[in-house]
Amino acid sequence: MNNGLALPIIIPFTTAALVLLVRQRPIFQSIATIVAAVLHLAVGFRLLVGVHQTGIAVLPVAGWPAPFGITLVADHLSALMVLITGVIYGAVALYSRADITADCARRGYYALINILVGGISGAFLTGDLFNLYVWFEVMLMASFALLVLGRSRAQLDGGVKYVVLNLISTLLFLTGLGLLYALTGTLNMAHLHLKLQAATNPGLVAAVAVLFLTAFGIKSGIFPLFFWLPASYHTPPVAVSAIFSGLLTKVGVYAMIRTFTLIFPFKDNGLGAMVLMAAAATMITGVLGAATHNQVRRILSFHIISQVGYMVLGLGLFTPLALAGAVFYILHHIIVKANLFLISGLMRRAGGSFDLERLGGLFSRHGLVALLFFIPAFSLAGFPPLSGFWAKMILIRASLEVGHYLLAAVAAVVGLMTVYSMTKIWGEAFWKPAPQDAAEAAAVTGSLNGWMLAPVVMMAAMTVWIGLSPELLYQLARAAAEELLDPGVYVATVLGGVR
């Protein structure tokens, strides 16, 4: 199994190279990407089963053992993230058959999507911070190119904001790497766990930790570092928005969880309290931002911010139940949020616009789209028995168990305010009568087809399944949380006898 640990990275990069050779054949590019996504999903499933049955998997690249060489590592958290990446990869690959024009395909869309997935998989599997930085840069280059692929004014404006703030994150990350290497002489995560326990300058260690917290906070979109996200995510094609919303911010959250459990654990250093305050502010500002907008993808973009607050809340509480809740929430949210963006594309095809004022009557004309919207929208709000109910309930219970009653109240109230945004979309787009020009606008944007509907139905079914049978996902999330809070096995597996 360890020899296959690199496959989630190799498969999309190999596919990217292949489709670049046939840029004038969009259909072949699409089929190759779908096949790659299926292989990636199968490898991710096999990886998770292997980790769950036999323990943490380690691959020293080129035979160089840690901490001297590049190491790939998969524990429960990494394996779960790789698996869910495969799900979104496949959904977006299918949806792209209908959403992406031949012109965009010739400009490199399919190559860029594959490069992006390869970078995301690398970030989840890397065992050292420098290579995490490398994978972040791969993701940044691919995502920026995807943002501006259509060359419209709005895309260029959003792309510039996106890349500038992410370059600031990169600068902070690189500065932290330099200081950390000067302090310890290593950047291997497992080795850093040991080295920092013997560090003699706690003030410098705390300063470096804040640098990493800020860098990953920008990537995650937490308060007050989220302004790049709603300025950019509504501008590219729907398939691009979906993979961005599902995965990009979650890589930042993953990096934050990995770093602040393995390298800089919260031990009476004030970082935990800082994260909890940021989590509450992120939840509140995100949901308030969503309430003020009337464009579907802008509303959904602000809800990404709001929901990231729940994930960071689990990290800040730093208990087994809270971290399990954070992992559960991440997985649930990736499915739901990517699906909502895909459904926004269905709404535009059916109604001719993303603007709520220009939409209407979709319930009577497209009942299936209404049902497909209802499931992830009200899962996002936390309605039982959908997956979001269990995700929110775990985190609220974790807050109550450690006496953070105010945070539990904030989480509950933000969930209720999410209902407002989802109800607004429902009332404006599905329930009210259609505007007079809606039919003409819909005729211009195109019609619904199986390539668009199939991934949406698949992910809606997953949301219902997780809601009705949450035990399996919770047990996997609990196993991930136990590994995060007790990193001894991770360190021993990666380093062997090296100290």
pLDDT of residue 103 exceeding 70, the answer is yes
pLDDT of residue 413 exceeding 60, the answer is yes
C-alpha neighbours within 13 Å on the C-beta side of residue 361: 14
Lowest-pLDDT range of 37-51, 116-130, 222-236, 251-265: 222-236
Written as six digits, the tokens of 303 are 């809800």
pLDDT of residue 366 exceeding 80, the answer is yes
Distances (CA, A) of 301 to 230, 294, 344, 485: 5, 12, 12, 31
pLDDT of residue 325 exceeding 90, the answer is yes
Mean pLDDT of the chain: 92
Give the model's pLDDT for residue 440: 56
Give the model's pLDDT for residue 449: 86
Average pLDDT (117-134) is 96
DSSP codes joined into one string, 427-448: IIIIISPPPTTHHHHHHHH---
Read off the pLDDT band of 117 (50, 70, 90). very high
Lowest-pLDDT range of 81-90, 266-275, 357-366: 266-275
Give the model's pLDDT for residue 437: 65
Distances (CA, A) of 342 to 301, 440, 456: 13, 22, 7
**Both ends of the chain: CA-CA distance in Å?**
26
Neighbours of 341 (CB within 10 A): 27
Written as six digits, the tokens of 72 are 């790939």
DSSP codes joined into one string, 151-181: --HHHHHHHHHHHHHHHHHHHHHHHHHHHHH
Amino acid identity at 490: Y
pLDDT of residue 200 exceeding 90, the answer is no
Record the pTM: 0.95
For the segment 457-490, what is each residue's pLDDT rounded down to a tens digit? 999 999 999 999 999 999 999 999 999 999 999 9
Q: Which residue has the tokens 């062997």?
A: 496
Read off the pLDDT band of 375 (50, 70, 90). very high
Give the model's pLDDT for residue 31: 96
Give the model's pLDDT for residue 498: 58
Give the model's pLDDT for residue 443: 53
pLDDT of residue 271 exceeding 90, the answer is no
Read off the pLDDT band of 455 (50, 70, 90). very high
Give the model's pLDDT for residue 202: 82
Distances (CA, A) of 105 to 22, 237, 409, 422: 10, 12, 47, 33
Burial of 184 (0-12, 13-18, 19+ CB in 10 A): buried
Q: What proportion of the chain, given as a percentage, has pLDDT over 70?
A: 96
Give the model's pLDDT for residue 144: 92
Read off the pLDDT band of 351 (50, 70, 90). confident
Q: What proportion of the chain, given as a percentage, has pLDDT over 90?
A: 77
Distances (CA, A) of 174 to 133, 218, 275: 8, 14, 21
Q: Which residues contact 93 (CB under 8 A, 6 or more apart)?
A: 30, 33, 34, 36, 37, 113
